[in-house]
Amino acid sequence: MKNILVTGGAGFIGANFVKYLLRKQRDILVVNYDALTYAGNLESLSDLLEEKRHIFIHGDIRDQSKIEKTLVENQIEGVINFAAESHVDRSIDNPGEFIQTNVVGTLNLLATARKLGIKRFLQISTDEVYGSLSSEEAAFTEDTQIRPNSPYSASKASADHLVRAYHHTFGMDTLITRCSNNYGPLQFPEKMIPLCINNAFCGKKIPVYGDGMQIRDWLYVEDHCEAIWKVFLKGKSGEVYNIGGDNQMTNIDLVRTILKTCGRDDSLISFVKDRPGHDRRYAINFSKIKKELDWKPKHDFASGIVSTVKWYSENREWLDHLTSGEYKSYYEKMYSGR
Ligand code: NAD
Ligand code: DAU
């Protein structure tokens, strides 16, 4: 397939994916469709201004006529849907927006893709749909029961069900990937790793929710991009593929590692009130994608975090731009009660 629609390609993983794809495939047209919410940033795509194989379209995935026009005019063959409201804390403050984009938007994309006979539809989902694990429980497999705990994960799980239903009922060629926590360049600094790096640079306190003993499985974003493209090219229609980093870590260990990498000590750590309904542990069993598609992570966390800190230190303007204005006031409001 030559002409691909990527939605949400001005966000963190989407922008990394667009760049990965343009590096990887010579013969491709990437149409990047993004609403440019607070999380979307054209500066993240500034190095693609002269790139003829990349077209940016400012639009909302809920806008049926614009999606249809985009798919027809660019002779799109495949769709990869990254567009989403993605931050758990915001979903607790305002669940409605998450239902609108993540559920209604995905349904609109599916319906329009079906109407136009799009060959393949890949939904970028998350390990959070599986819920939370105790320290003894085995890692999530693709057969683990869906038990979303936050409005964010509930909206992503709903979208997954719609994708599955479009395959089962209408015979559409769909796929779903469910990945663990990503880190790397271009991540909006409301998420834990860029927030921690930014605060460490500025000598500001780092808010650690609850006891800091929650566990996440961190994956370098480029490894995620590679897995997504493998699934899109070779994944079996109708299937779900888990993607993980094989790198479980407590939040407090993560923060200490980042502080050390930034040349700061632990005095910046500040324990704050916990996130309501906070999932304790995520862990991903990704043996299916490893066996069927020969994928495993290439970056280890020790080197990945060093290059990530280096990227943010070399791109302070990108960070400063995002930490001013609307985001700053949201951030201050959010932490004022903690
Ligand atoms: P992000 O918040 O950085 O980017 C989301 C992008 O979607 C932004 O560019 C935003 O402008 C765009 N967008 C939002 N609403 C839109 C709408 N209605 N129409 C069109 N565009 C819209 O998110 P991210 O971290 O890059 O995550 C991308 C996808 O990957 C999401 O679907 C998320 O659920 C999933 N995911 C993320 C992670 C992670 O660790 N970040 C892990 C697993 C899965
Ligand atoms: O697991 C995949 C998911 O990872 C994605 O689906 C989501 O889109 C993505 O945002 C991420 O969700 P998390 O809630 O795990 O990520 P976040 O970076 O917000 O938080 C990581 C952990 O750090 C989590 O346990 C909450 C904690 N945390 C977070 C922030 C922002 C803190 O302790 N303090 C903070 O200030």
Q: What is the Rg, in whole angstroms, of the alpha carbon atoms belonging to the chain?
A: 19
Mean pLDDT score of the chain, rounded to an integer? 95
H or E stretch including 229? helix 221-234
5 CB under 6 A from ligand 1? no
Q: What is the pLDDT of residue 330?
A: 59
- Separation CA 138–CA 60 (nearest Å): 38
CB of 87 within 6 A of ligand 2: the answer is yes
Of 192, 323, 334, the one to substitute when testing ligand 2's pocket (max ligand atoms within 8 A of C-beta) is 192
Using a 10 angstrom Cβ sphere, with 0-12 exposed, 13-18 middle and 19 or more buried, the burial of residue 81 is buried
Whether the model pTM is above 0.95:
yes
- Angle between helices 151-170 and 106-115 in degrees, nearest 10: 20
- Hey, whose CA ends up nearest to atom 3 of ligand 2? 181
Find, among 101, 256, 247, the residue nearest to 183 by Cα: 247
Q: Residue 7 C-alpha to ligand 1 middle, in angstroms?
A: 9
pLDDT at 331: 55
Amino acid at 158: S
Counting ligands in written order, the one closest to the CA of 38 is 1
The token pair at 22 is 């343009």
Does an H or E element contain 79, and which?
A: strand 78-81
Distance 83 CA to ligand 1 centre (A): 5
Kindly give the distance from the C-alpha atom of residue 57 to the centroid of ligand 2, in angstroms, as a whole number. Answer: 29
Looking at all shown ligands, the one closest to residue 187's CA atom is 1
CA gap 131, 113 in Å, rounded: 30
Please give the structure tokens belonging to residue 203: 């000598």
Task: Name which residue sits closest to atom 10 of ligand 1, judged by CA.
Answer: 40
- pLDDT at position 338 is 46
pLDDT digits (tens, 9 = 90+) for 43-55: 999 999 899 999 9
Among 60, 63, 64, which residue's Cα sits nearest to residue 83? 60
pLDDT in tens, 279-313: 999 999 999 999 999 999 999 999 999 999 999 99
Residue 333 has pLDDT above 90, yes or no: no
* Number of the ligand 2 atom closest to the C-alpha atom of 190: 31
Asked whether 18 lines ligand 1 (CB < 6 A), one says no
- Find out whether the beta carbon of 105 lies less than 6 Å from any atom of ligand 1: yes
Long-range pairs, 234-237, Cβ under 8 A, ≥24: 234/292, 234/293, 235/122, 235/175, 235/292, 235/293, 236/175, 236/292, 237/120, 237/167, 237/173, 237/174, 237/175
Tell me the per-residue pLDDT of 35-79, one tens digit each, with 9 for 90 and over: 999 999 999 999 998 999 999 999 999 999 999 999 999 999 999
Cα 146–chain centre separation: 19
Closest atom, ligand 1, to C-alpha of 183: 40
Q: At what angle do helices 221-234 and 12-24 cross, to 10 degrees?
A: 60
- 8 A C-beta contact, residue 140 and residue 289: no
Give nearest CA residue, ligand 2 atom 8. 86
Q: Give the pLDDT score at 299.
A: 97
Q: Which residues are catalytic?
A: 127-128, 152
CA distance 22 to 275: 38
Contact by Cβ (8 Å): 74, 29: yes
- Report CA(29)–ligand 2 centroid distance (Å): 33
Q: Which atom of ligand 2 is nearest to the CA of 86?
A: 8
Residue 106 Cα to ligand 1 midpoint, Å, equals 12
Show the tokens assigned to 138: 């085995």
